[in-house]
Amino acid sequence: MIDKLIRRSIREMVGGGGPPVAFLSPAGDRGLFGPESIAWKVHADFISMMIGGISSLVLQALHPKALAGVWDHSSFREDLKGRLGRTAFFIAATTYGPNEMANSIINRVNQIHQKVTGLDEFNNPYRADDPNLLAWVHLTETRSFMRSYESYRSETLRPSQKDQYFAEMKMLGQRLGAIDLPDTYADTELAIQQYHPQLHYGDRAKSIISLLEHFPSSLGSRPFVKMISRAGFLNLPNWVYPIIDRPQPGRLERLAMTSAIRLMAIPVREALKDGVAAHSLRRIYGSPL
């Protein structure tokens, strides 16, 4: 009963359903990263990835040109679940999928980006394949995923493992057209700081961030979805709160949320234990480890 409620709540946020059998073949295909990578470890924790996904979307909404592409060329505002579902599948396919699946979805995204152009809210031209914008999306996603994993997984990563994650993800960012990406945790934080003068909290950003803050959900799933959404906002770096007109969360609120998420994560991880990562291990080794 609990497993069913959890899966329904997750579908309300990102869609999907059913066993990921597409990840079972071809036998022995290790994909882009392989099971020894830190990307496999971090991205396998679905609950911290959902939290990191919310915070990365908040950050991305603050860049007028990055937001303009979403505003003009996607159904984000009408179909938030669809947008998050497509992002979740892209991460799953590039992290765990066989090489053909990963390369196919990377090529498809690159082709889409080439067609996404227009003017932002200041009438400045933008292109979705602009390396500067692609780097912003990459930086905010990897930073958000790692920070969420640090906060909501009891397992501690060594500094060298954190740096390895950013080095691994650099390869993926470059495949998508970003350039001059950092390959350490510290340099990722520094790179994000360079974008501060480009950020703007206007009406468009307010609309998107309000949507993320009040994520639509059914009555039964609302407590779960609301907690994930709030945790996503708590996962933001401290410099963001003055920009988005929110008070910086206090230590007690952060501790309470960390405890609540870690407790909730126990049945979530149990419900999802036979997910994409487990199926991908079967593809590589022939049976679950």
Let me know if residue 133 belongs to a domain. yes
In the predicted model, residues of the chain with pLDDT beneath 50 are 289
User: For position 185, what pLDDT does the model report?
Assistant: 96
Closest of 172, 154, 171 to residue 48, by C-alpha: 154
Structural domain boundaries enclosing 167? 2-13+29-277
Neighbours of 135 (CB within 10 A): 23
Residue 22 CA to its chain's centroid (Å): 21
Let me know if residue 176 belongs to a domain. yes
Per the CB < 8 A criterion, the answer to whether 113 and 129 are in contact is yes
Let me know if residue 288 belongs to a domain. no
Rounded-to-integer distance, Cα 131 and Cα 137, Å: 10
Q: Across the chain, what does the average pLDDT equal?
A: 90
* pLDDT per position as a tens digit, 20-45: 899 999 999 999 999 999 999 999 99
| Nearby residues of 181 by Cβ (< 8 Å), 6 or more positions away | 135, 138, 139, 170, 173, 174, 191
User: For position 289, what pLDDT does the model report?
Assistant: 47
* pLDDT per position as a tens digit, 123-138: 999 999 999 999 999 9
Let me know if residue 209 belongs to a domain. yes
Let me know if residue 23 belongs to a domain. no
Per the CB < 8 A criterion, the answer to whether 88 and 48 are in contact is no
Let me know if residue 21 belongs to a domain. no
Let me know if residue 221 belongs to a domain. yes
Number of domains in the chain: 1
Q: HSE-up of 8 (CA within 13 Å, CB side)?
A: 12
Length of the chain as a residue count = 289
* pLDDT per position as a tens digit, 204-223: 999 999 999 988 777 667 78
Let me know if residue 289 belongs to a domain. no
**What Rg do the C-alpha atoms of the chain give, in angstroms?**
18
User: For position 163, what pLDDT does the model report?
Assistant: 97
The dihedrals phi and psi of 122, each to the nearest 5 degrees, come to -100, 10
* Beta strand extents in 12-167 (DSSP E only): 117-119, 125-127
pTM of this structure: 0.91
Rounded-to-integer distance, Cα 118 and Cα 32, Å: 33
